[in-house]
Amino acid sequence: YQRYKMVEDLIGLIRDGRRLRILDVGGHPGLIAEFLPEDDTLILDTLPPEGRNYVQGDGARLPFKDASFDLVVSVDTLEHIPSGQKLGFLEEQLRASRDYVLLAAPFEDEDVSLAEQIVNEFFIKKIGHPNDSLEEHFAHGLPSLDETLSFFDENGVQHLEVPNGYLYNWLVMMMATPAVQALPDSEELVAMLNRFYNQNLYVSDNRRPCYRMVILASKQHSLDRDLIIGKYEKVKADVPVDAKLKLADL
Protein backbone atom coordinates (compact mmCIF):
# COMPACT_ATOMS: atom_id res chain seq x y z
CA TYR A 1 0.00 0.00 0.00
CA GLN A 2 2.76 2.44 0.95
CA ARG A 3 4.47 2.11 -2.42
CA TYR A 4 1.56 1.82 -4.81
CA LYS A 5 -0.65 4.40 -3.14
CA MET A 6 2.08 6.95 -3.90
CA VAL A 7 2.18 5.72 -7.52
CA GLU A 8 -1.60 6.15 -7.76
CA ASP A 9 -1.46 9.64 -6.25
CA LEU A 10 1.30 10.90 -8.55
CA ILE A 11 -0.29 9.47 -11.69
CA GLY A 12 -3.53 11.15 -10.67
CA LEU A 13 -1.70 14.49 -10.76
CA ILE A 14 -0.34 14.03 -14.30
CA ARG A 15 -2.94 11.96 -16.17
CA ASP A 16 -4.98 15.01 -17.35
CA GLY A 17 -8.09 12.86 -17.86
CA ARG A 18 -6.32 10.32 -20.05
CA ARG A 19 -6.42 6.53 -19.95
CA LEU A 20 -2.75 5.56 -19.80
CA ARG A 21 -0.78 2.59 -21.08
CA ILE A 22 1.56 1.71 -18.22
CA LEU A 23 4.41 -0.79 -17.86
CA ASP A 24 5.35 -1.83 -14.31
CA VAL A 25 8.86 -3.27 -14.37
CA GLY A 26 9.46 -5.68 -11.49
CA GLY A 27 5.78 -5.44 -10.58
CA HIS A 28 5.10 -9.07 -9.60
CA PRO A 29 2.41 -10.12 -8.74
CA GLY A 30 0.55 -7.17 -10.32
CA LEU A 31 -0.76 -4.96 -7.51
CA ILE A 32 -0.60 -1.86 -9.70
CA ALA A 33 -3.81 -2.93 -11.48
CA GLU A 34 -5.72 -2.68 -8.19
CA PHE A 35 -4.61 0.93 -7.71
CA LEU A 36 -5.04 1.98 -11.37
CA PRO A 37 -8.07 0.02 -12.64
CA GLU A 38 -8.91 2.72 -15.22
CA ASP A 39 -5.56 2.33 -17.00
CA ASP A 40 -4.06 -0.36 -19.23
CA THR A 41 -1.33 -1.89 -17.07
CA LEU A 42 1.23 -4.51 -18.08
CA ILE A 43 3.58 -6.25 -15.65
CA LEU A 44 7.11 -7.35 -16.52
CA ASP A 45 9.09 -9.40 -14.03
CA THR A 46 11.74 -12.11 -13.96
CA LEU A 47 9.37 -14.32 -11.94
CA PRO A 48 6.95 -16.66 -13.76
CA PRO A 49 3.69 -15.04 -14.93
CA GLU A 50 0.68 -14.79 -12.66
CA GLY A 51 -2.62 -13.92 -14.29
CA ARG A 52 -3.28 -11.71 -17.29
CA ASN A 53 -1.27 -8.78 -18.65
CA TYR A 54 2.02 -10.24 -17.45
CA VAL A 55 5.28 -10.77 -19.34
CA GLN A 56 8.31 -12.63 -18.00
CA GLY A 57 11.46 -10.75 -18.91
CA ASP A 58 14.51 -8.73 -17.92
CA GLY A 59 14.10 -5.06 -16.95
CA ALA A 60 17.55 -4.30 -18.38
CA ARG A 61 16.49 -5.69 -21.80
CA LEU A 62 12.83 -4.83 -22.26
CA PRO A 63 11.14 -6.71 -25.12
CA PHE A 64 9.27 -3.62 -26.36
CA LYS A 65 9.78 -1.03 -29.07
CA ASP A 66 10.81 2.52 -28.27
CA ALA A 67 8.06 4.71 -26.78
CA SER A 68 5.65 1.79 -26.33
CA PHE A 69 4.10 3.16 -23.12
CA ASP A 70 2.83 6.48 -21.79
CA LEU A 71 4.50 5.70 -18.47
CA VAL A 72 7.07 3.19 -17.26
CA VAL A 73 7.00 2.46 -13.52
CA SER A 74 9.45 0.58 -11.33
CA VAL A 75 8.86 0.36 -7.59
CA ASP A 76 11.53 -1.02 -5.25
CA THR A 77 13.24 -2.76 -8.15
CA LEU A 78 16.40 -0.75 -8.93
CA GLU A 79 18.05 -1.87 -5.68
CA HIS A 80 17.68 -5.50 -6.78
CA ILE A 81 19.64 -4.87 -10.00
CA PRO A 82 23.40 -5.68 -9.88
CA SER A 83 25.54 -2.54 -9.76
CA GLY A 84 26.90 -2.99 -13.28
CA GLN A 85 23.40 -3.25 -14.76
CA LYS A 86 21.67 -0.34 -13.00
CA LEU A 87 22.47 2.20 -15.72
CA GLY A 88 21.20 -0.14 -18.44
CA PHE A 89 18.03 -0.66 -16.42
CA LEU A 90 17.41 3.10 -16.30
CA GLU A 91 18.16 3.47 -20.02
CA GLU A 92 15.55 0.84 -20.83
CA GLN A 93 12.88 2.55 -18.72
CA LEU A 94 13.49 5.79 -20.58
CA ARG A 95 13.61 4.12 -24.00
CA ALA A 96 10.32 2.26 -23.58
CA SER A 97 8.41 5.35 -22.41
CA ARG A 98 7.09 8.00 -24.76
CA ASP A 99 6.80 10.43 -21.87
CA TYR A 100 6.85 9.60 -18.15
CA VAL A 101 9.11 7.46 -15.97
CA LEU A 102 8.21 6.90 -12.33
CA LEU A 103 11.02 5.32 -10.34
CA ALA A 104 10.79 4.51 -6.61
CA ALA A 105 13.63 2.97 -4.62
CA PRO A 106 15.62 3.15 -1.40
CA PHE A 107 18.90 4.97 -2.09
CA GLU A 108 22.28 5.05 -0.39
CA ASP A 109 21.84 6.63 3.04
CA GLU A 110 23.36 5.86 6.44
CA ASP A 111 20.02 5.73 8.28
CA VAL A 112 18.29 3.69 5.57
CA SER A 113 21.14 1.17 5.60
CA LEU A 114 21.02 0.92 9.38
CA ALA A 115 17.23 0.44 9.33
CA GLU A 116 17.60 -2.37 6.79
CA GLN A 117 20.28 -4.04 8.91
CA ILE A 118 18.02 -3.82 11.98
CA VAL A 119 15.11 -5.42 10.12
CA ASN A 120 17.30 -8.18 8.71
CA GLU A 121 18.78 -8.95 12.13
CA PHE A 122 15.25 -9.01 13.57
CA PHE A 123 14.25 -11.57 10.94
CA ILE A 124 17.23 -13.74 11.86
CA LYS A 125 16.63 -13.55 15.62
CA LYS A 126 12.81 -13.66 15.65
CA ILE A 127 11.77 -15.46 12.47
CA GLY A 128 14.79 -17.74 12.13
CA HIS A 129 16.05 -16.65 8.71
CA PRO A 130 17.22 -13.45 6.98
CA ASN A 131 14.95 -11.30 4.83
CA ASP A 132 15.63 -12.44 1.26
CA SER A 133 14.86 -9.05 -0.30
CA LEU A 134 17.19 -7.20 2.06
CA GLU A 135 19.93 -9.78 1.54
CA GLU A 136 19.73 -8.95 -2.15
CA HIS A 137 20.00 -5.23 -1.34
CA PHE A 138 23.18 -5.94 0.58
CA ALA A 139 24.60 -8.06 -2.25
CA HIS A 140 23.93 -5.51 -5.02
CA GLY A 141 24.21 -2.26 -3.05
CA LEU A 142 21.61 0.48 -2.85
CA PRO A 143 21.64 2.86 -5.83
CA SER A 144 23.04 6.37 -5.61
CA LEU A 145 20.42 9.12 -5.74
CA ASP A 146 22.92 11.61 -7.17
CA GLU A 147 23.93 9.25 -9.96
CA THR A 148 20.31 8.44 -10.76
CA LEU A 149 19.32 12.11 -10.97
CA SER A 150 22.41 12.82 -13.08
CA PHE A 151 21.24 10.16 -15.53
CA PHE A 152 17.99 12.06 -16.13
CA ASP A 153 19.84 15.39 -16.33
CA GLU A 154 22.29 14.03 -18.90
CA ASN A 155 19.38 12.81 -21.02
CA GLY A 156 17.64 16.20 -20.84
CA VAL A 157 14.66 14.82 -18.93
CA GLN A 158 12.91 16.99 -16.37
CA HIS A 159 12.37 15.36 -13.00
CA LEU A 160 11.30 15.94 -9.41
CA GLU A 161 11.63 13.87 -6.26
CA VAL A 162 9.12 13.11 -3.50
CA PRO A 163 9.94 11.24 -0.25
CA ASN A 164 7.93 8.11 0.54
CA GLY A 165 7.89 5.84 3.56
CA TYR A 166 8.62 7.87 6.70
CA LEU A 167 11.59 5.88 7.96
CA TYR A 168 10.35 5.43 11.53
CA ASN A 169 6.99 4.12 10.33
CA TRP A 170 8.74 1.83 7.84
CA LEU A 171 11.02 0.37 10.50
CA VAL A 172 8.19 -0.30 12.96
CA MET A 173 5.94 -1.87 10.32
CA MET A 174 8.72 -4.03 8.87
CA MET A 175 9.29 -5.53 12.31
CA ALA A 176 5.69 -5.67 13.51
CA THR A 177 4.25 -7.36 10.40
CA PRO A 178 6.45 -10.50 10.34
CA ALA A 179 6.19 -10.79 14.12
CA VAL A 180 2.38 -10.86 13.86
CA GLN A 181 2.49 -13.18 10.84
CA ALA A 182 4.46 -15.69 12.93
CA LEU A 183 1.55 -16.04 15.34
CA PRO A 184 -0.95 -18.87 14.77
CA ASP A 185 -4.17 -17.98 12.92
CA SER A 186 -2.97 -14.40 12.45
CA GLU A 187 -4.40 -13.56 9.01
CA GLU A 188 -7.12 -11.27 10.34
CA LEU A 189 -4.72 -9.63 12.81
CA VAL A 190 -2.27 -8.89 9.99
CA ALA A 191 -5.10 -7.38 7.95
CA MET A 192 -6.11 -5.21 10.93
CA LEU A 193 -2.52 -4.01 11.40
CA ASN A 194 -2.24 -3.04 7.75
CA ARG A 195 -5.65 -1.37 7.80
CA PHE A 196 -4.56 0.72 10.81
CA TYR A 197 -1.46 1.84 8.92
CA ASN A 198 -3.40 2.62 5.74
CA GLN A 199 -6.03 4.67 7.56
CA ASN A 200 -3.88 6.49 10.10
CA LEU A 201 -0.19 6.62 9.19
CA TYR A 202 0.08 6.77 5.40
CA VAL A 203 -1.26 10.33 5.32
CA SER A 204 1.91 11.52 7.07
CA ASP A 205 4.27 9.05 5.41
CA ASN A 206 5.59 11.09 2.49
CA ARG A 207 8.26 13.07 4.31
CA ARG A 208 11.88 12.89 5.38
CA PRO A 209 13.61 10.95 6.79
CA CYS A 210 12.23 8.47 4.29
CA TYR A 211 12.91 4.90 3.31
CA ARG A 212 12.55 5.52 -0.43
CA MET A 213 12.53 8.42 -2.87
CA VAL A 214 10.08 8.56 -5.76
CA ILE A 215 11.44 10.17 -8.92
CA LEU A 216 8.92 11.39 -11.48
CA ALA A 217 10.49 12.25 -14.85
CA SER A 218 8.96 13.47 -18.10
CA LYS A 219 10.35 13.66 -21.62
CA GLN A 220 7.58 15.87 -23.00
CA HIS A 221 5.93 17.80 -20.17
CA SER A 222 7.03 20.57 -17.85
CA LEU A 223 6.29 19.13 -14.43
CA ASP A 224 4.33 21.39 -12.08
CA ARG A 225 6.77 21.20 -9.18
CA ASP A 226 4.76 23.55 -6.94
CA LEU A 227 1.58 21.52 -7.41
CA ILE A 228 3.13 18.09 -6.94
CA ILE A 229 5.66 18.71 -4.17
CA GLY A 230 3.38 21.28 -2.52
CA LYS A 231 0.67 18.63 -2.18
CA TYR A 232 2.85 16.59 0.15
CA GLU A 233 4.30 19.54 2.03
CA LYS A 234 0.76 20.75 2.73
CA VAL A 235 -0.33 17.35 4.06
CA LYS A 236 2.65 17.25 6.38
CA ALA A 237 1.85 20.71 7.72
CA ASP A 238 -1.86 19.96 8.18
CA VAL A 239 -1.51 16.65 10.04
CA PRO A 240 -1.72 17.20 13.82
CA VAL A 241 1.02 15.62 15.92
CA ASP A 242 -1.33 13.51 18.00
CA ALA A 243 -0.78 10.38 20.02
CA LYS A 244 -0.84 8.13 16.95
CA LEU A 245 2.00 9.97 15.26
CA LYS A 246 4.00 10.20 18.46
CA LEU A 247 3.69 6.45 18.76
CA ALA A 248 4.78 6.01 15.14
CA ASP A 249 7.88 8.13 15.81
CA LEU A 250 9.15 5.88 18.63
pLDDT tens-digit series, residues 189-216: 999 999 999 999 998 899 999 999 999 9
Whether residue 238 has pLDDT greater than 70: no
Mean pLDDT computed over every residue of the chain: 93
Q: What is the pLDDT of residue 244?
A: 46
Q: What is the pLDDT of residue 223?
A: 93
CA gyration radius, the chain: 18
Q: What's the predicted TM-score (pTM) here?
A: 0.92
Contact (Cβ atoms closer than 8 angstroms) between residue 28 and residue 47: yes
SS3 string of the chain?
Answer: CHHHHHHHHHHHHHCCCCCCEEEEECCCCCCHHHHCCCCEEEEEECCCCCCCCEEECECCECCCCCCCEEEEEEECCHHHCCHHHHHHHHHHHHHHEEEEEEEEECCCCHHHHHHHHHHHHHHHHHHCCCCHHHHHHHHHCCCCHHHHHHHHHHCCCEEEEEEEEEHHHHHHHHHHHHHHHCCCCCHHHHHHHHHHHHHHCHHHCCCCCEEEEEEEEECCCCCCHHHHHHHHHHHHHHCCCCHHHHHHCC
Whether residue 139 has pLDDT greater than 50: yes
Enumerate residues 6+ apart whose C-beta is below 8 A from 152. Answer: 101, 158, 159, 215, 217
Q: What is the pLDDT of residue 242?
A: 53
pLDDT in tens, 123-135: 999 999 999 999 9
In DSSP terms, 55 is beta-bridged to 44
Strand order in the sheet with 69-75: 54-56, 40-45, 21-25, 69-75, 97-105, 210-218, 158-166
Q: What is the pLDDT of residue 235?
A: 63
Q: Nearest-5° angle of CA 225, CA 231, CA 233?
A: 95
Whether residue 67 has pLDDT greater than 80: yes
Q: What is the pLDDT of residue 52?
A: 87
Whether residue 246 has pLDDT greater than 60: no
CA count, 13 A, side-chain hemisphere, 142 = 22
Q: What is the pLDDT of residue 245?
A: 46
Q: How confident is the model at residue 236 (pLDDT cuts 50, 70, 90)?
A: low
Whether residue 115 has pLDDT greater than 50: yes
